[in-house]
Structure 1
Amino acid sequence: MLPPVLRHRRRSRAVPTALLAGLLVVTMGPLWAQDSASHAHESAPAMPTMAEHDGDTPMRGLLGPYAMSREASGTSWQPQATPMGGSAPWMMGDWMWMAHGSANLVVTDNAGPRGDRDTVVQTMGMLMGMRPLGPGTLGVRAMVSLDPWGVGKTGYPLLFQTGETADGRTPLVDRQHPHDLFMELAASYAQPLGESSSVFVYLGLPGEPALGPPTFMHRFSGMDNPEAPLGHHWLDATHITFGVATLGWVWKDLKVEGSAFNAREPDQIRTNIELRALDSWSGRVSYNPSERWALQVSRGVLRSPEQLEPDVDVRRTTASVIYHRQFERAQWQTTLAWGRNQKLPGHATESFLLESALVIDAVHTLFGRVERVDKDELFGEDEPLAGQVFTVDKATLGAVHDFPSTRLGRFGLGLQYSRYAIPAALKPVYGDQPDAWLAFARWRL
C-alpha cells in the first residue's frame, strides 16, 4: 500500500467539452497546415531570433557543421527551425558562453481517492561554453536544479505516474520524482572530416546517452507544460545518467551515435554524484530531412535501471518525429513519440505521446498533450492488482500568458487541465473520472 502521505481523497470534476475540442486543434493543427513554401524559402535561415556568432552567420553546432539551433538535450537533435532560448552569447577570450534558466511556482490539484494537492517550485539553470581547440570544437555544459528542495523527496502529485523512489524502499506512485541537483556535467569534442561531416565524443557525469527524443523539458512542444509525461520512463528518463560516453558521426542531415552508460536511475539522495560502471548501451539514428523536421529511432539495453528491481533489465526502443513550423507571428511545434520497454525477465509495455505548442507573438501560448501508456507498477506487492498491466489515457490542455521582458528575464502565468480515461478495474481505486488542475507562475531567462 502507498504511504498515507502520498494519498489525498478528492472529489472528481467535469471537463468542459470546449477543452477537449481545443486539445484536438492544438495537437493536430501543425500536421493539417499546408507546407506550401517554396524550396528557396525552405532552405533559407528560418531563425531570425537565433543567436549569431559574427553578426550574420548562425552559431555553429557543438557536434557538427550545422546551426546550433538543431541541438537539444544531450546529443539529441530537434528541428533546426526551433528558436533558441536563453541569454545572448558573450565572449571570454576564446570561449563563447550562453546561459539559460527557468523556474515554475506550481499549484496542482489531482482529484479522486488517490489524488493530492501540493505547491512546489521547479527550477533549472544551464551554462554552456564552446571554443576552438585544434581543428575541432570543444564544448562544456553544466545543468543544475534546486528541485531537491523546491519539489522535495516525494515529488509532486501526478496521477498514474510511476518510477524511482523517495526513500530507497517505497516506490513513487501517483507522484513525479524531483530532478537531481546535478542534471548534467558534460564535455564534448567534435572533429571535422570535411565541409559536411564530423565525428564527436560526448562524456557526462551526469549526462544523457543516445536514447530517445529530446527530453520533455527541452522540447519546444513540451517545455510549457510543467508536468512530466506519463511515458517519461519509456522515452527520455535517461536524461540524467551518472556516467555516459557517446561516440557519433555526422554527415549533413544524418547522425549515427552509440553510447555506453550506467542505466541505474538516480537514487533517493538527490544531491550527490553517483559512480557506477558503464554496464549498458544504446544506439540512435537521427535524420533531419529539412529545417522543419527531426526524426530519430533508438534502441538500448538498460542493466538494472530500477533501484527497487535490481534483478530486472530493460530493453528500450523509441521512435519520434518532431515538426516545427514558423509563421510570421507564431511558432508551432508538434512531437509524436513511441516507446517500448521489454523487461528481462518480464513483459513488454508501451507508451504513445502526441504533444504540441503554439506561441503567438512570443506572448500567448496554447499547448496540449495526449498520451496512452501501459502501467504495471500502480500497486504494491500486497495489493490484489499488483503486477497487472493497465492502459491509461490522458489528455491535457493549457495556456500561458507572458509579460514583456525585463532585465531579470521574462515572467508568465499559466493554467492547464488534464483528464484521464481508465479501465473499469481502476475506478474503485481512482474514481469514476479522475482529473487534475494545475496553475503556475513562471520565470525564464
Structure 2
Amino acid sequence: MKIEFLAAASALALVTLPLPAYAQHQHMPGMDMPMPKKAPAKNAPAKKATAKGKPKTLKAKPQPSHQHAAPVAATPPSPVQPEPMPMDHSQMDHGAMPMGTPEAARPMDHSSMPPGEVNGGEHTGHGSMLSALGPYPMSRDSSGTAWQPDTSEHTGLMTQSGDWMLMAHGVLNLVYDHQSARRGDDKAFASGMLMGMAQRPLGDGTLQFKAMVSPDPIMGRRGYPLLLASGETANGTDRLIDRQHPHDFFMELSASASQNIGPKSSVFIYAGLPGEPAFGPPAFMHREAILDSPEAPISHHWLDSTHITFGVLTGGLVLDRFKAEVSRFNAREPDQHRWNIETGPLDSTSVRLSWNPTRELALQGSWGHFEDPEQLEPGVNQKRWSASALYAREIAPGWKLAGTLAWGRKTIEHHKDDAYVAEASLKHDAWTIFGRGEITENREILDTEEHGPASTVGKVSLGAVRDFRLAEHLSIGAGGLFAVNFVPDSLASLYGGNNPVGAMAFLRLKFD
C-alpha cells in the first residue's frame, strides 16, 4: 500500500516542478526622477537685465508629484521656464500606493508579475494596493491574518466610497459527489462563500472590517461524503467519519486596526466572532494551489480547522518580510448548530512566525494549545504544531504555478499524530489543473468511543476546471476530480479493499 501511495504521490509531485521561465524581468524604477532642464534655443536673444543688472528669473510651474516620491534637493532657479515632462505611467512604482487612493488613480493589479512590470493588460487582483495590516502588498494577505506569496491571486470587485475602500468576492459550487467502498455514499450539495470587506485610513494605519458567509449549512448536518475524513460531530452525539462537516453560515465577522511604526513595519490587532487565530497556513479554500478544488482535505483538522473560531483576539508585529503573532481564542469546534453565533472563553493560545523571503514564497511555523476543543471529548486538551511553505509564480507568459507543502501535528494526551500535505495547481488562460496528496495518522477512523491505535491513511486527487466569462465580473466554470485513497490492511475490510476511490463533478459561479 505504501509503495502504491508513494508512486501516486510522485506523479502528483511532477506537477509542482517549475517549468523554465521564458524571460527574466528586471525591476523597473518608479517615477521619482529629476526633471531635466530645457536647453536654451540656439541663437536665442539674451534676457533683459533688471535694474540691478541681474537677469530676471521665471518661476517654474509646480510639477505633479507622486505621493511617495522621495524629496528632491533644492536647485538654483532656472533662467528658462521648464516645460512639464510627460509622465510615463508604465514606469510608476505602485507597490506602495496607499489604500485611500481615489478609484480613478488606483493602479491595476500586478501581483502575478515581477516588481514594476506593467503591460496595460487587465488584471483582477489587488497586489498593488497596501494591506490593512501593514505597509506591504495586499496580495500577501490571505485568510484571517495569514500570509501567502505576494504573487498570489487576489481577486475581488473593488470600489471607493469617500474614505472607504470596499471589496466583494464570491464563489458558489454545485457538486455531485460519489465516494465508493462500503463506507462511501453519493450526494449532491452546494458549497462556497461570499466575502465583503471595508477599510479606511486610521491615523498612520488602517481600520478594516470583514464578513464572510457560506451556503454550507444547506447541505444538512451530515455534510457530504469524503472517505478518510474525520472531525466535528454532526448531531452532537456521534462522530462524523468518512464525511466532511458543513461549515457554519458565518465564516468570519472580524475587525482589525493597524498603525505603521516605520516605512516597512507596523503593529496590528485583529478580533473576530468568528475569526481565525494565528495558527497554520491559510485555510484550504484560500490557498491558491488548491482553491479550485471543491473538496476539503482529510488533513483539515491538523492544519486549518481553526479558520472558523468563535472568539479570537490576535496581536501582531510586522517587520518588512517578517511577522510575529500571538492569539487568544476559544478553541471549541463549532457545534452542530450551523446557523448561529457561539461564544466561549478565550482560554487557548497560539503563536505564529511568518517569513516571506521572496515575493514568490511564504513560510510559517506555528504552535497552539487548544483547551477542550472536541465537543465529544470534554476536558481533553490538545497541542498542535504546524509548518508550511506556499509558492506562486508566473513561470511563462500566461502560465501560473502555485504549490503548498505543509505538516501538522496533533498531540492528544500522550499521542502524537502527524499529517503531511502537498498541493499544486497550474493555470493557463481559462484552464486550471489542480492536485493534492496527503498522509494522516488518524485515530478516529475506526469510530470507537476512545482513541484507538493510529491508522496511517493517504489520498491522492487530481482535477481540472474550465471557466467561461459571462460578464465583466461574473464567470461560470465546469470541472471534475478523481481521487484514490490508500488504507492499510487493518482497514481494508471496512472499505472493501485497500484503494477505494472517489469522484466529484461540479459547476461553479464566481463573482470577482
Per the TM alignment, residue 37 of structure 1 is displaced from its structure 2 partner at its CA by: 3.8
Q: In 2, Cα distance between the equivalents of 1:194 and 1:424?
A: 58
Which residue of 1 is the match for residue 295 of structure 2?
Answer: 227
Which residue of 2 is the match for residue 438 of structure 1?
Answer: 504
Distance 1:172 1:33, change over 3 A: farther
Unaligned runs of 5+ in 1: 1-14
Deviation string, structure 1 residues 322-355 (Cα, Å, up to 9, x no partner): 1111131021100000000001x24110000000
Which residue of 2 is the match for residue 141 of structure 1?
Answer: 210
1:144–1:181 Cα contact (<8 Å) kept: yes
Per the TM alignment, residue 405 of structure 1 is displaced from its structure 2 partner at its CA by: 3.8
Per the TM alignment, residue 234 of structure 1 is displaced from its structure 2 partner at its CA by: 0.3
Distance 1:177 1:192, change over 3 A: same
1:106–1:438 Cα contact (<8 Å) kept: yes
Are residue 187 (structure 1) and residue 283 (structure 2) matched? no
Distance 1:51 1:230, change over 3 A: closer
Per the TM alignment, residue 136 of structure 1 is displaced from its structure 2 partner at its CA by: 1.6
1:50–1:69 Cα contact (<8 Å) kept: no
Per the TM alignment, residue 415 of structure 1 is displaced from its structure 2 partner at its CA by: 0.9
Q: In 2, Cα distance between the equivalents of 1:111 and 1:46?
A: 48
1:354–1:369 Cα contact (<8 Å) kept: yes
Are residue 72 (structure 1) and residue 139 (structure 2) matched? no
Are residue 119 (structure 1) and residue 108 (structure 2) matched? no
Q: In 2, Cα distance between the equivalents of 1:132 and 1:230?
A: 40
Q: In 2, Cα distance between the equivalents of 1:146 and 1:205?
A: 18
Deviation string, structure 1 residues 128-184 (Cα, Å, up to 9, x no partner): 1110122221011000012111x2110000001000011100010000000101010
Deviation string, structure 1 residues 225-254 (Cα, Å, up to 9, x no partner): 111111000000000000000000001101
Matches within 5 A, 1:237-316: 237-316=305-384
Are residue 347 (structure 1) and residue 415 (structure 2) matched? yes
Deviation string, structure 1 residues 109-130 (Cα, Å, up to 9, x no partner): 1111101110000021000111
Which residue of 1 is the match for residue 151 of structure 2?
Answer: 81
2:311–2:346 Cα contact (<8 Å) kept: yes
Per the TM alignment, residue 356 of structure 1 is displaced from its structure 2 partner at its CA by: 0.4
The two structures have a TM-score, normalised by structure 1, of 0.89
The two structures have a TM-score, normalised by structure 2, of 0.78
Which residue of 2 is the match for residue 381 of structure 1?
Answer: 448
Per the TM alignment, residue 21 of structure 1 is displaced from its structure 2 partner at its CA by: 7.8
| 1:337 counterpart (389, 406, 409) | 406
Are residue 29 (structure 1) and residue 17 (structure 2) matched? yes
2:134–2:205 Cα contact (<8 Å) kept: no
Are residue 128 (structure 1) and residue 197 (structure 2) matched? yes
Percent identity between the two aligned chains: 46
SS at match of 2:217: helix
Distance 1:421 1:51, change over 3 A: closer
Q: In 1, Cα distance between the equivalents of 2:11 and 2:360?
A: 24
Q: In 2, Cα distance between the equivalents of 1:347 and 1:108?
A: 33
Distance 1:50 1:411, change over 3 A: closer
Between Structure 1 and Structure 2, whose CA radius of gyration is higher?
Answer: 2
Are residue 44 (structure 1) and residue 115 (structure 2) matched? yes
Per the TM alignment, residue 206 of structure 1 is displaced from its structure 2 partner at its CA by: 0.4
2:289–2:403 Cα contact (<8 Å) kept: yes
Letter paired with 1:411: I
Letter paired with 1:442: R
Per the TM alignment, residue 191 of structure 1 is displaced from its structure 2 partner at its CA by: 0.4
Deviation string, structure 1 residues 202-243 (Cα, Å, up to 9, x no partner): 000000000000000001101011111110000000000000
1:51–1:59 Cα contact (<8 Å) kept: no
Which residue of 1 is the match for residue 167 of structure 2?
Answer: 98
Q: In 2, Cα distance between the equivalents of 1:395 and 1:381?
A: 26
1:46–1:81 Cα contact (<8 Å) kept: no
Distance 1:35 1:377, change over 3 A: farther
Are residue 406 (structure 1) and residue 498 (structure 2) matched? no
Deviation string, structure 1 residues 392-417 (Cα, Å, up to 9, x no partner): 11000001111124256110001100
Q: In 1, Cα distance between the equivalents of 2:117 and 2:406?
A: 24
Which residue of 2 is the match for residue 424 of structure 1?
Answer: 489
Distance 1:440 1:182, change over 3 A: same
Which residue of 1 is the match for residue 179 of structure 2?
Answer: 110
SS at match of 1:206: coil
Q: In 1, Cα distance between the equivalents of 2:149 and 2:392?
A: 6
Distance 1:90 1:158, change over 3 A: same
Distance 1:300 1:415, change over 3 A: same
Unaligned runs of 5+ in 2: 29-112
1:98–1:127 Cα contact (<8 Å) kept: yes
Which residue of 1 is the match for residue 56 of structure 2?
Answer: none
Q: In 2, Cα distance between the equivalents of 1:372 and 1:339?
A: 11
Distance 1:21 1:302, change over 3 A: closer
Q: Name the structure, 1 or 2, with higher relative contact order (CA <8 Å, separation 6+).
A: 1
Per the TM alignment, residue 421 of structure 1 is displaced from its structure 2 partner at its CA by: 1.5
Per the TM alignment, residue 58 of structure 1 is displaced from its structure 2 partner at its CA by: 1.5
Letter paired with 1:355: E
